[in-house]
Amino acid sequence: QGANLFFQLIARRYEKVPTVFTSNKPFSQWNKVFADVTIASAILDRVLHHCTVVNIKGGSYRLKERKEYMKQKRHIVNTLFEQGQA
């Protein structure tokens, strides 16, 4: 049902207003995302008709920020622990 509702949203917006999508799935996997090849094809037909695809490859900024945060947190904990030993 979710795929059908999403299709209806896309169909209403089609050729009327701009829509920006972000996805970590290639178009070839959208039929798995929506679990319906027909609806996935219909959505992609409308989405890709007047689109510009920007394919960005690289690491996640959120994951990078999280790793830096955890590294800093470990440093603070280690510093506190070392001070407690003195």
Q: CA-CA distance, 78 to 32, in Å (whole number)?
A: 45
Q: What angle do CA 7, 8, 14 make, to 5 degrees?
A: 85
Q: For residue range 69-78, what is the model confidence (pLDDT) as tens digits?
A: 888 877 666 6
Give the DSSP letter of residue 82: H
pLDDT for the residue 15:
92
- pLDDT tens digit string along 27-42? 999 989 888 899 999 9
Please say whether the beta carbons of 51 and 43 come within 8 A.
Answer: no
Q: Is residue 43 a contact partner of residue 30, using CB atoms and an 8 Å limit?
A: yes
pTM for the model stands at: 0.61
